[in-house]
Structure 1
Amino acid sequence: MLTAFAVAHLAPTTWLAATPTASTPEPTTGSLIRRGYLAAAVGGAVAAALYGLATGTAVELDYNPYLKWTLGAAIPLTVCAALIAATAPRIAADALPTWLALTRPAVTHAIIAAIGIFLMRAALTLTTPIDLTGMPGLAGSLGAALLGAATALTASRSRMLRTITAPGLAIGYALVFSYDTSSALIVGYLVALTWWGLRLTAQTLRLAFPAVGTALHRLVDRSSG
């Protein structure tokens, strides 16, 4: 799903970067954004479903547990991508660079989380690389620490909050990691990833409908007054 977001972000970014001296027509850029994020919504969900089905086929077990994980993680981001596809083309041309900076996908954080989850699962199932190193406890705690750090980095854009929460969550995840808590730790990261998608959607709506945001601010100011 994040790969689909990255591809959707790449199309309008490349278009704008290729024409630095000319004004980019809004319909052209809007069409790229609409098509890119609509493709991300559909393609990401289909890829998640296929991955769950393929995993069930590989282990020759029921598909439901794997589809629950893959689709459960993908559907919230699918909805976010669909909303972005519908509303982002309304963003004014002068606000597009700001919006594109906000939409950079959290791919690096996802890679850190993926490595962490891989080490956690390897420690619990005693598979590669644990079967070679023979240190399941250390590898599992290291994986949990990476997952905790990725969760903190994904949940916030603030450098200060990241500096404070990333070490704390890394240590906390490492300390509580066990067979019983591993799924909860993964769900914690998926919640942070969903929050990333919701925050991006909210920022898109704010830029696409600036008058609505101004009106809400006025209502809040009047209420507080």
Structure 2
Amino acid sequence: MSLIKSFKLVLAPPHRAATPFLTAGLLTAILGRLTPWRLTRAVGTVGFAFTGFCLYFFRNPRRTSPQGDNLVLSSADGRVTGVSLVAPPAALEMGNTPVWRVSTFLSVLDVHVNRMPVSGTVSKIAYHAGRFLNASLDKASEHNERNELRITLDDGRQLAVVQIAGLIARRILCDVQEGERVKAGELFGLIRFGSRTDIYLPPGITPEVLEGQTMIGGETIIARL
């Protein structure tokens, strides 16, 4: 990555979900620094640091998605921690036939907005309250808090994308609803503060990425339909 691209990534404007955190951090920083007491001034310094962290964590860089109706794009930035054949989530009613699942782990340093992997229609959403295990563990897909979306393509095939909360994540945001038409690469949610996304490909489709590979949400091609 070039130096210019690195600066653009770090200085990207924040997602709107950052607003309450930035407000709290700035108020704490300003009030703390305006007081004459050493303790409150220290709290103000912490407020500035927290504000800086939130600006970095919630950054929402502009992405240019490759064109093509047959492409499956990564839903998130991060590292591929698993490529395996497993049955789709039962709640999404996609059958029991194993399909390829690509799991991407997002550390607290990665961009955390989620993007649609394909264009189609959100035909089902299933939310599950759960635990907060390390999201890089395979069992996180069954035990952790998660939000599952089934996307129906124009040709009738189905694909699933799952937002999974992590060890310190405590909130999954999803901005789409059942029946909504979506476009590949567009934003649909966010997970704070460390998480994972799983993509379940349609039957017969093989992923083109490997475990350990770095993903760029909305840009990296995972598979071709």
TM-score normalized by the length of structure 2: 0.26
**Rg bigger for which structure?**
1
Q: Report which of the two has the higher share of strand.
A: 2
More helix by share: 1
Q: Higher relative CO (CA 8 A, sep ≥ 6), structure 1 or 2?
A: 2
